[in-house]
Chain A
Amino acid sequence: MAVFTKPDFKSSTVKSKKKEIPEGLWTKCESCGEVLFNKELQDNQMVCKVCGHHFNIGGHDRLRFLLDPESFEEHDTNLIPVDVLKFTGATSYVDRLKTYQKKTGLNDAVVSGLGKIEGQAVSVAVMDFNFLAATMGSVVGEKIARAIERGTKKKIPVIVICASGGARMHEGMFSLMQMAKTSGALARHAKKGLPYIAVLTNPTMAGVMASFATLGDLIIAEPKAMIGFAGARVIKGTTQADLPKGFQTAEFLLDHGLIDMIVPRQQMRSTLAKTLGYLGGRHTHKS
């Protein structure tokens, strides 16, 4: 159903070194209030050295922290969201897209491609919460499905760094169907005996949770990430019940047996490398 228009000469495969360092010299920790030196904060992968708060980071920053230097080859930068429903409402979808494209420099909420983690080739996709709360529209679903299929084709592990506020309502049922598309691609990937790891970051909710975020051979969360299906406000509104302490945090999910482990950002890369070492199965994915 893809619509092919607007030919230009932008490459879909580019080496990316884009950095997203916050402007200014200092940043105040959103959690403990400590004033942090930006250079130090960056060196600590945007984690507060005092309280361990994990700041929200963009897709390219994430990949810089995760992948071997210079190993990332970006794909599918040429997919552009469209206002398929001509959504008429309180806000225009086209305007919202323009605003976020300008703000983030991305076409939509996923950065994806091929890279290496401690020498091991992986197909990777990162959801960027800064773009429309990483809601799942057609481009998000397509880029994730292609990243999975790329992993299947190249017989390498797939890693998806998840984050999402929910559905891309402006794309209606096309938004819902991305859950089907991505999960179907994972079924085929799994059938080949290939590993898939889902990393859940703050926040990962709704349709993303009810599809690829919970289908990992391993599911790893960042500390204190909010993770769930229905939003806390909806649950409270429906049930009129008080929510348990720490409800829908990564720690709560670990206690209830819903995820494998909680790993701080600075140890994510080594943890992925180590665990992938156990998931070779009948494939050799050292390159």
Chain B
Amino acid sequence: MEKIKVQPLEFEKPIVELEKMLDELEAHSKEHAVDITDEVAQLHQRIRETKQEIYSNLTPWQRVQIVRHPRRPFALDYLKLIATDFTELSGDRLFGNDRALIGGFATINDIKCLVLGQQKGRDTKENLMRNFGCAHPEGYRKALRLMRLADKFKLPIICLIDTPGAYPGVASEQRHVAEAIAVNIREMFQLQVPIIAVVLGEGGSGGALGIGIADKVLILENAYYSVISPEGCAAILWKDAKMAPQAAAALKMTSPDLKELGLVDDVIPEPPGGAHHDWEQAAESLKSAIVRHLEKLQKTDIEKLLDQRYDKFRAFGVFEEEEAAV
């Protein structure tokens, strides 16, 4: 059985405790040459049960902690594992090259496509470069430039969403991040190639939606997709950011909730405890979902695909419609 190798989260402590007991037991048996086969088996059983108990009853807030785990695989980590080639392309041709939103050609299962991805950093230095996965307008404009390239040369588009949100800063506003996102949303409805969006980790509001219009919207099991961060929601509606766990539950932002509400097409399973416990398994799961949906979409007539894309988003909304007198 795989032991927890990465920094455990608070709610994983009971598992870690048991694993420590197991280590001690094994050390003791070695030292004193006692047969402890039964005890070891029992402990293994308890660890399995505890894992099952914890990992199959994750609260929305626990999932948020999982997707913010520093060892969670990011867009480029997945690309290394699922693509046989990734050729990065840079810049918006207007202002700069935003490293919080990367893009380029990729070959996945022999399918040539264009991949966009919001990219976080793992340490301070990398996070400065990646701006914690929060893109500026030039990131969204690079994305649009590359999507138009894909449209011209008929490459399907894969958007890997993982951002706390578009960057809230003075420069971002001055270069009009709102317009950059809005134009992407509008233009993505007209791209004559199949589009798949996958929420890998954090699906932060408009910043996520800026590369989020797609024929299929998929989400990893522990990822969230929300109109506002749980902290932001708590600060406004509860007047207390510490109420974020409550807000995370109320916003119905987890993958099972979104699937039930019909807001995502498919949930991609993660290894027990989250993708950071086993990158290879998570990548395999992601790859098979992308390939499965892509192969189906590529068989669909493009005009029909565009109509379906519009109808899909056009239908999002719940309200009562009182019957009107004619």
A243 pairs with B186, CB closer than 8 A: no
Instruction: Please encode chain A, from 133 to 145, with 1 for each CB lying within 8 Å of some chain B CB and 0 for all others.
Output: 0000011011001
For B310, list chain A residues within 8 Å (CB). Answer: 184, 188
Is B181 an interface position by the 8 A CB rule?
yes
Separation of A247 and B309 alpha carbons in the complex (Å): 37
For B321, list chain A residues within 8 Å (CB). Answer: 2-4, 78-80
Whether A239 touches B169, Cβ cut-off 8 Å, given contacts A173-B252, A185-B314, is: yes
User: Chain B: which residue is nearest A215 at the CB level?
Assistant: B182
A180 pairs with B209, CB closer than 8 A: yes
Is A65 an interface position by the 8 A CB rule?
no
Is A35 an interface position by the 8 A CB rule?
no
Instruction: Please encode chain B, from 304 to 322, with 1 for each CB lying within 8 Å of some chain A CB and 0 for all others.
Output: 0000011001111111111
Which A residues from 234 to 280 make CB contacts under 8 A with B?
A: 234-235, 238-239, 241, 243-244, 247-248, 256, 258
Is A120 an interface position by the 8 A CB rule?
no
B177 pairs with A229, CB closer than 8 A: yes
For A88, list chain B residues within 8 Å (CB). Answer: 249-250
Separation of A185 and B213 alpha carbons in the complex (Å): 13
Is A5 an interface position by the 8 A CB rule?
yes
How many interface residues does chain A have, given as a range?
35 or more
B324 pairs with A11, CB closer than 8 A: yes
Query: Which candidate, A19-27, A40-48, A121-129, A203-211, is the interface stretch facing chain B?
Result: A203-211
Nearest Cβ in chain B — how far from A138, in angstroms?
3
Is B185 an interface position by the 8 A CB rule?
yes
Nearest Cβ in chain A — how far from B43, in angstroms?
40
The total number of A-B Cβ pairs within 8 Å is 227
Is B179 an interface position by the 8 A CB rule?
yes
A176 pairs with B173, CB closer than 8 A: no
For A215, list chain B residues within 8 Å (CB). Answer: 182-183, 186
For A82, list chain B residues within 8 Å (CB). Answer: 318-320
For A206, list chain B residues within 8 Å (CB). Answer: 206
Query: Which of A6, A211, A256 has the most C-beta atoms of chain B within 10 angstroms of its own C-beta?
Result: A211
A89 pairs with B252, CB closer than 8 A: no
Is B272 an interface position by the 8 A CB rule?
no
Whether A211 touches B233, Cβ cut-off 8 Å, given contacts A1-B318, A228-B173, is: no
For B169, list chain A residues within 8 Å (CB). Answer: 230, 235, 238-239, 241
How many interface residues does chain B have, given as a range?
35 or more
For A183, list chain B residues within 8 Å (CB). Answer: 182, 185-186, 189
Nearest Cβ in chain A — how far from B164, in angstroms?
10
Is B49 an interface position by the 8 A CB rule?
no
B185 pairs with A228, CB closer than 8 A: no
B228 pairs with A10, CB closer than 8 A: no
Separation of A239 and B132 alpha carbons in the complex (Å): 13
Query: Which of B228, B313, B322 has the most C-beta atoms of chain A within 10 angstroms of its own C-beta?
Result: B322
Is A287 an interface position by the 8 A CB rule?
no
Is A179 an interface position by the 8 A CB rule?
yes
A90 pairs with B237, CB closer than 8 A: yes
Which A residues from 208 to 233 make CB contacts under 8 A with B?
A: 209-215, 228-231
B189 pairs with A187, CB closer than 8 A: yes
Is A87 an interface position by the 8 A CB rule?
yes
Separation of A191 and B170 alpha carbons in the complex (Å): 33
Separation of A172 and B205 alpha carbons in the complex (Å): 10
Instruction: Please encode chain B, from 164 to 189, with 1 for each CB lying within 8 Å of some chain A CB and 0 for all others.
Output: 00111110111011110111011101
Query: Which of A89, A173, A187, A231 has the most C-beta atoms of chain B within 10 angstroms of its own C-beta?
Result: A173
Query: Which candidate, B82-90, B99-107, B117-125, B255-263, is the interface stretch facing chain A?
Result: B255-263
Q: Give 16 A-B contacts (CB < 8 Å), ordered by A residue.
A: A12-B322, A12-B324, A78-B323, A79-B319, A80-B319, A84-B261, A85-B250, A90-B237, A167-B228, A169-B237, A172-B227, A173-B227, A179-B209, A191-B190, A211-B185, A239-B169
Question: What are the 4 tightest A-B residue pairs by CB atom distance, in nearest-first order?
Answer: A230-B168, A138-B317, A177-B316, A12-B324
